[in-house]
Amino acid sequence: MKIGVNLYPSVGGSGHLATRLGQELARRNHIIHFITYQRPFSLMWEQTKGVHVDLVDRFEYPLFKATGPPYAMALASKIIKSTKEAKLDLIHSHYAIPHAMAAYMAREIVGVPYVVTLHGSDVHTLGLDPAYKPVVKHTVENANGVTAVSEFLKKKAHEELGIEREIHVIPNFIDIQRFKHLNGIRLFVESGCVGLRTDDNSEELNPEEKILLHASNFRKVKRVVELVEIMRIVVDHFPEVRLIIAGDGPTRIEVERKIEALDLCNNIHLLGIKSNMQEIMCSADMLLLNSTLEGMPLVLLEAMSCSLPVVTTPAGGIPELVRPGKDGAVTKGFEQEEFAHTIIELIENDTKRKSLGKAGRKRVEESFSAKKIVTKYEKVFEEAVS
């Protein structure tokens, strides 16, 4: 099958999943055309046979100065062009805004069917905004197929977005051969709240110190600022513990200021955006994710696949992935004290921490591997084009 994939190419859950899925489909002899405004982040270091990138034309014009160029229209035009030239059988739209609308327009013009995958805020936040909801609802409702990455999102789409059609729940997945535990990884950081270093002036973290990890796009719902406050509680109990934060985003400045205000510059290190997350995860003792809203976080899948124990909240679809006390530690609520004490408990209990890491890996192997999940997408695609 020849499949066009429209996605956000930057670092983030929906774009990362879309890129991985495209690569896995290409390995199964499908032809994939990523249709977007720049080369997807995950393709920067990888080449996969059968994968193409069709860049959307973007241009400035005085008329668009106040509103910005109409990207959805340019994207729809590129989908039409790619469909005609590459003879695409299907468009797969990841994240409904604006991708479902662009695919809908393309189908109206050239007849190419489209499948929409709902990832999170396109349903529970942005998708509900009156500025977008009527169009999101119509273009999702009228797609040739719809999937969501969790039962939580499916329920939200039905109850709050008003979608009445069938939605297939296909969870996120991980390449369990690529993401697995590696021994002997050494992590170097520079003190003063900055990033990963490998030169002679950097500091190698002591393997005896407990290393905690957080990775996200620094949006408000990720609560990275609150995580710094949580670390103040943890450091009061264990002064040598370190938190490594990978990623970047809107609250970065607030995070830096909070680290300085709470005198945690020697305990918290900001790495920025990194491509070697497997190595970073394999150097840590646990992953922390204290979000208030999630669909199906890829970072949890990556950590669990690397046998890294996770501490997280019951946000959105997380309990569908991490069964509390079995595959990882899931707090009952969202209070900082509870989250901090859950971390402290695992720092104190090496046996329990390692047991959760082992159980997390088993959970991913059994239910969230690429081998088990990609076939489900192929089935939806076949139904959409039939």
Q: Of the candidates 87, 150, 81, which has an alpha carbon nearest to the alpha carbon of residue 122?
A: 150
Residue 178 lies in a domain: no
Calculate Rg over the CA atoms of the chain.
21
Average pLDDT, the chain: 91
Task: Output the six-digit token pair for 331.
Answer: 């707090």
Residue 32 lies in a domain: yes
Residue 168 lies in a domain: yes
Distances 299 to 148, 232, 381 between C-alpha atoms, Å? 17, 23, 26
Q: How many domains does the chain have?
A: 2
Range of the structural domain that residue 104 is part of: 2-173+369-385
Residue 147 lies in a domain: yes
- CATH number (domain holding residue 215): 3.40.50.2000
Give me the pLDDT at residue 44, please: 62
Residues 134 and 210 in one domain: no
Residues 79 and 156 in one domain: yes
Confidence of residue 200 (pLDDT cuts 50, 70, 90): very low
Residues 256 and 321 in one domain: yes
Residues 197 and 57 in one domain: no
Residue 208 lies in a domain: yes
Residues 33 and 92 in one domain: yes
Report pTM. 0.87
Q: Of the candidates 301, 253, 302, 252, which has an alpha carbon nearest to the alpha carbon of residue 276?
A: 302
Instruction: Summarize pLDDT for 345-370 with one digit per residue, the tens.
Output: 999 999 999 999 999 999 999 999 99
Residues 315 and 264 in one domain: yes
Residue 257 lies in a domain: yes
Instruction: Summarize pLDDT for 255-302 with one digit per residue, the tens.
Output: 999 999 999 999 999 998 887 888 899 999 999 999 999 988 999 999
Query: Which run of H or of E encompasses 134?
Result: helix 133-141
Work out the average pLDDT over 49-70.
Answer: 89
